[in-house]
Amino acid sequence: MRAFRGEVLSVPQDPATAGPQAIRHFADGLLVVEDGLVVACGLHAEIAERFADVPTEAVAGLIVPGFVDAHVHYPQTERIASHGEQLLEWLDRHIFPAEQAFADRAHADGVAAFFLDELLRNGTTSALVFATVHAQSVDALFEAALTRDMRIVSGKVLMDLGPPGLADTSEQGRAESEELIARWRGRGRLGYAITPRFALTSSDAQLGGAGDLLAAHPDVLMHTHLTENLGEIAAVGKRFSDAVDYLDVYDRFGLVGPRSVFAHCVHMEDRALERMAQAGAGIALCPTSNLFLGSGLFDLAGADRHGVKIGIGTDIGAGTSFSVLNTLGEAYKVCQLRGCSLDPFRALHLATAGGAAMMGIADRVGGLLPGQEADFIVLDPAATPLLARRTAGADLHDRLFALQVLGDDRAIAATYLRGRLAHRRS
């Protein structure tokens, strides 16, 4: 057992629906951890006597839950900031060639190790991650995550209509997915996601098989893309001309449910949003990627009106930063352009407990609640001269918002996994 004393903040509930009581803030707080789990979290003055004999570390900075990245592609790490084109052309020009290299296990191991270390450096402790069509790309990521004790959910990409050198078959995709689930189920803090890339890269047979896999394994997620880019939407509409909309394509194959996470969802109509809310499906908001590829401005207020679950995704490598803080700053700007405002407390919720809820792990991480795993980070409001000047004397709201807009990896003073130091800023 050990304890951490400092300012503690978490937002386990969505302030948009739960109000101010969603915010748990202890200006002089104590976070007590035993065997990797939170034993207690509260005001030091109220709970310290119970833990008087516990070794206590004084923490300078703001203790918050570790970030949850709800959509990111580890094989695209080395293609971040690749110039030119919108989604479909960008995939053909930059991404599909890069992903072919993951046929080499050594290459996959090297990228996976760098990727996970970069997540930790940026304060991300849990993530829903795209791999490639190669089963060994999942093995590489999961083995690296086990070594670091990270909570990572991933799966082999299904794309039997993919380009040469990057396509499986419907039968192969299903068999390899089953093998991966059996090989990794219950190991460490890992989870599996059935992962059709998007509707255009899978045959009807493969999409149907993905639905069968999802139904057969109640402990797995379904992770894919939806209404990201106008060119993509037009192509989907042409192929599935009898579908009501893009979401209906997935729905007819049994892929829309409470374990479904759809990235982007930039161009959604009310019918689809209502269906997502009814099914309990969630959206990973990826603002830096949507801006970088010119895909559009996500309508957070529209999703809220229908009660759809929301998380935050960096979407590397169309996304332009591993930093969830930076990504939240871009989300704020997108909301401003859409005529709404993203409060910093809600932003923190979406990047922690909100993403965890969408991934079905909110009982384990995201709120620093008793019984949850003690994944947390220390934010430094004085990480740069500008941040220090901006936050000097500021209240909690302004300090948090300044970190959201001005912060990046430099603001992550330390990252802890289950109460153990995983990264400290040099």
Q: Report pLDDT digits (tens) over 195-221.
A: 999 999 999 999 999 999 999 999 999
Give the pTM.
Answer: 0.97
Tens of pLDDT, residue by residue over 129-153, are 999 999 999 999 999 999 999 999 9
* In contact, 402 and 394? CB cutoff 8 Å: yes
CB atoms inside a 10 Å sphere around CB 363? 13
Query: Quick one: 35 exposed, middle or buried, by C-beta within 10 A (0-12, 13-18, 19+)?
Result: exposed
Confidence of residue 391 (pLDDT cuts 50, 70, 90): very high
| Cis preceding linkage at 407, omega within 30 | no
Any idea what DSSP says for residue 398? H
pLDDT (tens digit, 9 = 90+) per residue, 297-345? 999 999 999 999 999 999 999 999 999 999 999 999 999 999 999 999 9
126, 351 Cβ separation under 8 angstroms: no
d(CA 275, CA 284) in angstroms, rounded, equals: 16
- For 2-66+367-424, the fitting CATH number among 3.40.640.10, 2.30.40.10, 1.20.144.10, 3.50.50.60 is 2.30.40.10
Q: Mean of the per-residue pLDDT values for the chain?
A: 97
pLDDT at 416: 98
Residue tagged 């803090």 (tokens): 189
pLDDT of res. 85: 87
- Cα(39)–Cα(245) distance, rounded to whole angstroms? 47
Residue 118 clears pLDDT 90, i.e. is over it: yes
- Segment 80-94, tens digit of pLDDT: 999 988 999 999 999
Q: How much of the chain exceeds pLDDT 70, in percent?
A: 100
If you search the block for the tokens 């990409």, which residue do you land on? 157
Contact at 8 Å (CB) between 159 and 166?
Answer: yes
Listed by start position, the domains of the chain span 2-66+367-424, 67-358
DSSP 253: T
> What span, in angstroms and rounded, lies between the C-alpha atoms of 269 and 370?
39
What does CATH list as the number for 67-358? 3.20.20.140
Distance CA 396, CA 27 (A): 9
